[in-house]
């Protein structure tokens, strides 16, 4: 089975994680396994890497390729459940100290190119865009999933109220024609359910001015990105996972996050900044009452981005931003 993905900033990720013999790691986003498999080579004979992915295909691919490897544990789950995943694998006393945890956010090339998944506006497919087909819990910020069903982009596009859809397009896509696009969606969905990426591209095409279609970035890019982020509750998952990751690290262990969207990077940056401070009281508070203690130190004072050589070789890496912290 082929599962295509060119790992982004592989050299830098491995350099900052610096895996060594018998150390334990977590790759929260296995994808095509670029990071996991590089780490695997370095942690022998007794180190473990726990590799998680919400996507069944990524998980299956990992199983076929490397399941016999005694240093690898594969889990098909959402990384927002990190602590529970660990508890299910190791009894409390035996939870290992982890030397590094890595997140490579967003979607893989294999998902984008999958004709059945609806991630790409270039391929006509059902409007799905779910990383994993897991039943949602009913937590904010989005929907109460129908019993036994997972959330899809079709559900968002056809069931969400106008304001919510417009907010998604504006906030997650920075789409300046959000209102026009949502107006058209509302009009069309009254006539019939919008079911495919092709139908959605057609609607967006009618909602944006002609000059918007001559830009370098395809006119449907922002809408598709925004809907994917909302469908998968991506920002919420990240907010939930970061504190759990920090908890699982041993002293001196590192968290590395590679993100591709400014809102993701902001969540990472703010969380790391807050956890690197001893006091998080409001700036005008006369004395500290929070009792907060710094739990980490920031290793990458400035974000790390791919080299121009990497961007030439793999243009999809161009928006990547990497941040690294170390537990103290």
Ligand X SMILES: C[S@@+](CC[C@H](N)C(=O)[O-])C[C@H]1O[C@@H](n2cnc3c(N)ncnc32)[C@H](O)[C@@H]1O
Residues that bind ligand X (CB under 6 A): 5, 7, 29, 31-35, 52-55, 58, 78-80, 104, 106-108, 131, 237
Burial 157-168 (b: 16+ CB within 10 A, else e): bbebeeebbbbb
Checking phi first, is residue 233 left (phi over 0); if not, alpha (psi -120 to 50) or beta?
A: left
Shortest distance, position 141 Cβ to ligand X, whole Å: 15
Least separation in angstroms between CB 94 and ligand X: 24
133-140: long-range contacts at Cβ-Cβ below 8 A with a sequence spacing of 24 or more? 133/56, 134/54, 134/77, 134/78, 136/233, 139/236, 140/236
- Choice between 40 and 207, CB closer to ligand X: 40
**Minimum CB–partner distance for residue 286 and ligand X (Å):** 41
Of 328, 324, 237, which Cα lies nearest the Cα of 9?
324
CA distance 61 to 5: 12
Which of 31, 203 has the CB closer to ligand X? 31
Residue closer to ligand X (CB basis): 103 or 177: 103
Compute the C-alpha angle 306/308/312, nearest 5°.
105
Task: Give least dist CB 231 to ligand X, A.
Answer: 11
- Which is nearer to ligand X, 53 or 310 (by Cβ)? 53
For CA atoms 157, 160, 165, 171, give the dihedral sign.
Answer: negative
Cβ proximity to ligand X: between 24 and 244 the closer is 244
Report the distance separating Cα 81 and Cα 89, nearest Å. 13
Nearer to ligand X, 199 or 310 (CB): 310
């Amino acid at each position: 089975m082929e599962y295509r993905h060119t790992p982004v900033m592989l050299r830098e990720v491995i350099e900052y994680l610096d895996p060594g013999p018998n150390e334990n790691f977590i790759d929260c986003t296995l994808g095509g396994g670029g990071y996991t498999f590089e780490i695997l080579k370095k942690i022998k004979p007794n180190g473990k890497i726990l590799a998680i992915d919400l996507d069944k295909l990524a998980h299956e691919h990992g199983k076929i390729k490397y399941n016999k490897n005694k240093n690898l544990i594969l889990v098909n789950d959402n990384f927002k459940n990190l602590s529970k995943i660990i508890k299910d694998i190791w009894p409390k006393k035996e939870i290992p100290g982890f030397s590094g945890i890595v997140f490579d956010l967003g979607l893989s090339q294999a998902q984008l190119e999958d004709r059945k998944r609806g991630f790409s506006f270039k391929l006509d497919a059902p409007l799905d865009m779910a990383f994993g087909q897991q039943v949602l819990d009913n937590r904010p910020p989005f929907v109460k999933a129908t019993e036994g069903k997972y959330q899809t982009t079709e559900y968002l596009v056809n069931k969400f109220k106008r304001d919510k859809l417009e907010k998604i397009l504006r906030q997650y896509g920075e789409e300046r024609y959000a209102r026009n696009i949502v107006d058209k969606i509302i009009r069309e969905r009254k006539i019939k359910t919008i079911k495919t990426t092709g139908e959605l591209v057609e609607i967006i095409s009618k909602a944006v001015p002609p000059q918007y279609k001559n830009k370098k970035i395809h006119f449907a890019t922002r809408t598709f990105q925004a809907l994917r982020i909302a469908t998968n509750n991506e920002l919420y998952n990240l907010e939930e996972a970061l504190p759990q990751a920090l908890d699982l690290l041993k002293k001196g262990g590192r968290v590395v996050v590679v993100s591709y969207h400014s809102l993701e990077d902001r969540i990472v940056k703010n969380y790391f900044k807050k956890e690197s401070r001893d006091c998080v009281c409001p700036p005008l508070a006369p004395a500290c009452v929070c009792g907060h203690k710094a739990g980490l130190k920031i290793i990458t004072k400035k974000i790390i981005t791919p080299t121009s050589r990497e961007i030439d070789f793999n243009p999809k890496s161009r928006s990547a931003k990497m941040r690294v912290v170390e537990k103290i």
